[in-house]
Every structure is written in C-alpha cells, then in structure tokens.
Amino acid sequence: MKYVSYWRDTATAFSGGHTGPVEGHYDVAVVGGGFTGLGAGLQLAKAGAKVIVLEANFVGTGASGRNGGHLNNGLAHSFLAAKAELGTERAIALYQAFDDSIDTLEHLIAEENIACDFRRCGKLKLASKPEHFEAIARNFEAINREVDPDTALLSPVDLKSEVGSPFHGGMLFKKSAMMHMGRFAAGLATAVSRRGAIIVEQAAVTEQVQEAKGFRLTTAKGTVHADQVLLATGAYTPASFSYFRRRIITVGSFIIATRPLTEAEAASVLPGHRTYVNSMNIGNYFRLSPDNRLIFGGRARFSATSDQQSDAKSGAILQAAMLRMFPQLAGVEIDYCWGGLVDMTADRYPRAGRQNGLWYAMGYSGHGAQLSTHLGTIMADAMLGRPDRNPMKDAGWPVVPGHFGKPWFLPFVGAYYKAVDWIR
C-alpha cells in the first residue's frame, strides 16, 4: 500500500515553475497554488496582469490533490436550510455558482487542452435510512421547483441499476462531473505558466506587511511587492494570516483506493459509474477512477492531523466501512491510502471577498474541488474591476468561539455526530 495521493502518484508533475530567487513588483501576488490560486492566476494572466503565484509546497499538493475526485453541482447540504440561513436570493446564487463551476471547468479544460479524464456523470445522494429519504425528497421538491430542474428522485428499485448496495432511495444531480485531480492540477499550472504568470513552488509566505500601496510578502525564496494579494490557502493558511485562521477549522478527510477492479467487479459495485455520497453525518463518498479503482473516502476520524500514522488508522476504518457497504469486495487489496486537511467554516458555506486590503477565497468545507477554480476566476475578475459575481459577497464571517488555529474541540464534535447518526 502506498501512503500517497493516487491523483499525484498517477499524474506527471508540473515542471514549469520559476526556479530562481523571488523578487520584484507584481500587479497581483496569489498565495496558494491549488485550484483557487491557479484559476485566479490564469484569469489574471489572460487579462494581461503581471502575476506571481506563491506555493508553499508544490502545485496541487494541498486539498486540490487530496480529495475524492468529485465535481458535484448544487449545494452539498440542504437547500431548504441554506434558504433559511442565507436568505433565498443568496442561497439560489450559491447553488447556481456550484452549477456554473462545472461549466467553467468544462470550458477551461477544452480551451487549454488539459487531458484529465473530465466526464459529466451525475451525482447520487443516497439515503442510508428511510427517514433520510424523506428529508432528501423534501429538499428535492424545493430544488427541482426553484433552482434546478435537472434533478431526479430515485426509488430503491431505481437504485439497483446504479449502486451495488441497498439504499432507501436517492437524489440525482445530473450536471455533476468527475476528473483526474492530479492531471488537472498539472495541466492548469502549465496553462497559467504558458499565459505568462510566474509560479514559484516551495515559496511559503512567512510574513505579509501592508504598505502605502499594496503589500510586501516575505517568502522562503525572497521578497516580492504586489499591488493586490489574493489569499487562496484554505486549510493550509499560514499562521501570519491570523484573521482567517480563527475562522477556518482544519479537519482531516481520508481516502483509500483499491487495486484496479475487473469489469465484473466494477459493475457489481457502481454500475451507474457516477459520483456517490451517502446521507450520514459521518458519511462516505465514492466513485471509480479512470483505471477502475474504487476510490472511497470519508471523515473516518475527527482529527486535524494527516500523516502516515493518522492516514493508516483512518484507512482501516474506511476499509471496514467499504466492506460493510460492498461485501463483494472482500479480499480486494487496497493500493493507496491518503489524507488531507479540509477548510471548514462553522456554517459550512464558503467565504470570499476582501478583508483589510487582502482578497481571499476559501472555506469550501470539503466541497471545493468543483467550486475553487470558478471562485478563483470570479475573484480575479473582481480584482480586475470587472462585475463582481461573488455569491458570498459581504456575507458575515464571525470567528469560531475559542478557536485560535488548532481545533482542540474536534473529538467532541465527532462524538456528537456519531450519536446523531446512531439515533437518526
């Protein structure tokens, strides 16, 4: 078993980064070389801006290269709850932003000729209990009527041709897609570089100082000045950006991937070949990879640590959950096990905007693979003075009480959700 991300291990790494010292003045400095930062960098460079992307590690090594490979449209959680919490207008705008994000990716991949196995497949949210289906049906009625007619409600009988495990019905989001995350990250970085932006890897930002005009950023490779800065670091936000650290809760998410399945094995598990998520609070998400592996992920453990020891513990929990759901895979080897950090907000809605002169986009709460590139593009347009399409513009973002960067309370949160899943 390899304790590395399947996406990175099966993709050719980006090789077009700047290798010299970091110096000079730029129109925009983007902090973070994941999908958000690269999406913004591409849009800015296409508009003729002088751009530098500063990545602490390598492009796509954060959440962008450590996720489950889903590009799901619509809100991850209840649309009815979003209307109550955000208001109808913002809830609809946010729902549509997730829809638009799939279109943005499809267009960008075609325009930049990125080979990343992108495919529209549809997403199924599966009811793990009968009462969960009742809640899914209520949510479906509102979504289908108010914002997304490209949805369908499926009965347990309908699901027999979709998934090789019994569920109590589900909701199909027809616009959803999937792709190979590692190949997309490398291809997107190549496009950013080709368009004229400079990408610097292993250039962690250690200090940021606001000046009379713009910012001075100190990195591991030198110092740059920029008129504008976009922070696109999510769960990997440096401690020097304390405003954001107090509002982001870092939570580990963990994934395993089997050996390549035979055609018969794959058909017995996921004959619908879509992206899937079940309805438990501590739930699981799964899909088939381009080479027919079952990629199976979930929270597994409420931990803010992702290293080989933590990933291995979580991987064992995930394997047990996978076999409970798909006992037909007993004896199938696990080839990959990895984890990563998710940038959660207290209400699980993303945040983007401007604070003390800094532009930012983050807080995807485990659902950024699809939205991040799109929101990076939106923020780039706002920085260029174009119409601001940010669905979360001016949304309040209070601090998490008692939180100063290290989420000490995660075990208690995990115990609560386990109890809720047991009760209902």
- What are the tens digits of pLDDT across the range 106-126? 999 999 999 999 999 999 999
pLDDT band at residue 166 using 50, 70 and 90 as cut-offs: very high
pLDDT at 424: 56
**How far is 420 from 414, CA to CA, in rounded Å?**
10
Average pLDDT over the chain, rounded to an integer: 93
175-189 residue pLDDT tens: 999 999 999 999 999
Q: Is the pLDDT of residue 415 over 60?
A: no
- In whole angstroms, what is the distance from residue 24 CA to residue 52 CA? 10
| Residue of 182, 183, 156 whose CA lies nearest to 167 | 156
Contact 314, 254 (CB under 8 A): yes
Mean pLDDT of 343-355: 95
Per the domain annotation, does 389 fall within a domain?
Answer: no
Establish if 409 belongs to a structural domain: no
Instruction: Identify the weakest region by mean pLDDT among 227-241, 244-258, 298-312, 386-400.
Output: 298-312
Residue 414 has pLDDT above 70, yes or no: no
Considering the entire predicted model, what is its pTM?
Answer: 0.94
Query: Which residues does 203 contact at the CB level (< 8 Å), separation at least 6?
Result: 22, 54, 55, 56, 219, 220, 221, 222
Distance separating alpha carbons of residues 382 and 406, to the nearest angstrom: 32
The answer to whether residue 403 is domain-embedded is: no
Confidence of residue 54 (pLDDT cuts 50, 70, 90): very high
**Sequence-separated (6 or more) residues with CB below 8 Å from residue 76:** 348, 365, 366, 367
Give residue 303's pLDDT: 63
Domain annotation covers residue 411:
no
Distances from the Cα of 85 to the Cα of 91, 261, 328, 348, 396, angstroms: 8, 43, 42, 11, 11
Residue 410's pLDDT band (boundaries 50, 70, 90)? low
Q: Are 85 and 347 in contact (CB under 8 A)?
A: yes
pLDDT in tens, 228-250: 999 999 999 988 899 999 999 88
CA 305 to CA 303: how far, in whole Å?
5
Q: What is the pLDDT of residue 301?
A: 58
pLDDT of amino acid 416: 41
Confidence of residue 273 (pLDDT cuts 50, 70, 90): very high
> Using an 8 Å Cβ cutoff, are 165 and 284 in contact?
no
Percent of the chain predicted with pLDDT > 70: 93
Which pair of structure tokens corresponds to residue 262? 């035979």
The DSSP letter of residue 161 is: G
For the four alpha carbons of 348, 38, 112 and 290, in that order, the dihedral sign comes to: negative
Q: Is 400 exposed, middle or buried (0-12, 13-18, 19+ CB in 10 A)?
A: middle
Average pLDDT over residues 172-201: 98
Average pLDDT over residues 370-374: 97
Angle of helix 181-194 relative to helix 35-46, nearest 10 degrees? 30
Please give the pLDDT value at position 340. Answer: 86
Do the Cβ atoms of 364 and 349 come closer than 8 Å? no
Residue 417: what pLDDT? 44
Cα dihedral 90/92/97/103 (nearest 10): -160
Confidence (pLDDT) at 311: 84
Q: State the average pLDDT over residues 381-393.
A: 97
Compute the average pLDDT of residues 347-362.
96
Q: How confident is the model at residue 255 (pLDDT cuts 50, 70, 90)?
A: very high
Q: What is the pLDDT of residue 412?
A: 43
Residue 220 domain boundaries: 6-383
Decide the pairing of beta strands 51-54 and 198-200: parallel
Predicted confidence band of residue 297 (pLDDT cuts 50, 70, 90): very high
Q: Is residue 156 part of a domain?
A: yes
Confidence of residue 304 (pLDDT cuts 50, 70, 90): low
- Residue 91 belongs to a domain with what CATH number? 3.50.50.60
Percent above pLDDT 90 for the chain? 84
Please indicate, yes or no, if residue 410 is contained in any of the structural domains. Answer: no
Total tally of structural domains belonging to the chain: 1
Is residue 279's pLDDT more than 60?
Answer: yes
Please state the rounded mean pLDDT for residues 207-221. 94
> What number is the average pLDDT over the span 354-363?
96
In a domain, 57, yes or no: yes
In SS3 terms, 184-200 reads as: HHHHHHHHHHHCCCEEE
Residue 163 lies in a domain: yes
